Structure 1
Amino acid sequence: MPKTEAELSAFLSGLGIETTTRRHPPLFTVADSQALRGEIAGGHTKNLFLKDKKDNVFLVTVEENATVDLKQIHTLIGASGRVSFGKPELLMELLGVVPGAVTVFGLINDTEGRVRVVLDEALMENETINAHPLTNEATTSISRADLLRFVEATGHRPLILKVSA
């Protein structure tokens, strides 16, 4: 069973990581979430759940307005050839979330370490980063340093690369 928002919160607390979470109506797109701008400070994320032809899986997290060249990103992230979006079933299996709720916090569910996480350099310039806490009905704010601590605590080595234009 995928972890719940409460289990994520407990995991973060156990690491000594402080976050703030704001509830809101379900947000399915970046356009939906932009209605909250001004109310939640920091960098807001857009997440790409990608897979290559050898079934390597990538979670690419960028700033919400970032442009990513999907025809070229494979050369930056170490994929075997071009990438495509991973199917919803694989997303649920590995990250425990549904489309519209993809989040870097989903790494808590990838206990086998199958997902390679790529954080965009531009996003990581923000002191505070905002992401869904396993549900698109809330936004959790976390410091950049604590986000990196979280990713590493889930057994992943984050790659920080310039993937956006």
Structure 2
Amino acid sequence: MSSSPKCSRQDLLDFLVSLNIETKTYDHEAVFTVSESHKIKQHLPGGHTKNLFLKDKKGKMVLVVCLNDTEVDLKSFHHKYDCGRVSFCNADLLWEHLGVRPGSVTPFALINDKDNNAVNLVLDANLMKEELVNFHPLENTATTAITSEDLLRFVEATGHVPTILALEKDAG
């Protein structure tokens, strides 16, 4: 386990600039849930997201990133992705591996897992169809817009290889 300090919002934004990735960040009041964020998101262009930090019984950690209205069936997720049955990670694991607190989960937090690569990333196929996507920049008092193409560049720069899956809950 790395004992390096967690990256700040400014560290993240500086890292994105170093990759020649353009973003736009909007400051707003703190939001903790998808429903709380609706009034903020209605004024921001692009796909709006939810992020689920999960682990299976063997300890495999998975960050699932999808559009905020995607219904992810956690009971059958292990059939779509190579893992065991999953449950939500606790706040301690979230802080230890991604360096963020509940309510601030974001794929940008992979910057805090650069040395360990302990977290697996699953991106929803529908999310990746969006030209512009929005995430918290490590804190839930702002939203940063990035192109889906640049999101992939960022993820690669952190040493992670994303899996892109259709996550929408199967009908029936």
Q: TM-score range by the shorter chain?
A: over 0.9
Residue ranges of structure 1 left out of the alignment (5+ in a row): none
Q: Which residue of 82, 97, 103 corresponds with 2:85? A: 82
RMSD: 0.7
Alignment of 1:42-57 (within 5 A): 42-57=46-61
CA–CA separation in structure 1 for the residues paired with 2:106 and 2:78: 20
Answer yes or no: is 1:73 the counterpart of 2:77: yes
Q: Which residue of 1 aligns with 2:28?
A: 24
Q: Which residue of 1 aligns with 2:12?
A: 8
Percent of paired sites with the same residue: 51
Answer yes or no: is 1:139 the counterpart of 2:143: yes
Q: Secondary structure at the match of 2:37?
A: helix
CA–CA separation in structure 2 for the residues paired with 1:27 and 1:100: 7
Q: Which residue of 1 aligns with 2:162?
A: 158
Q: Secondary structure at the match of 2:6?
A: coil
Q: CA deviation at 1:164?
A: 1.8
Q: Any conservation in 1 of the 2:41–2:48 contact (CA below 8 Å)?
A: no
CA–CA separation in structure 1 for the residues paired with 2:63 and 2:156: 14
Instruction: Give me the TM-score of the superposition, normalised by structure 2.
Output: 0.94
Residue ranges of structure 2 left out of the alignment (5+ in a row): none
Q: Which residue of 113, 116, 124 corresponds with 2:120? A: 116
CA–CA separation in structure 2 for the residues paired with 1:38 and 1:114: 34
Answer yes or no: is 1:95 the counterpart of 2:89: no
CA–CA separation in structure 1 for the residues paired with 2:120 and 2:79: 14
CA–CA separation in structure 2 for the residues paired with 1:37 and 1:130: 9
Q: CA deviation at 1:86?
A: 0.6
CA–CA separation in structure 1 for the residues paired with 2:152 and 2:142: 20
Q: Secondary structure at the match of 1:90?
A: helix
1:19-38: CA deviations, max 9, x gaps?
Answer: 00000000100011111233
Q: CA deviation at 1:77?
A: 1.6
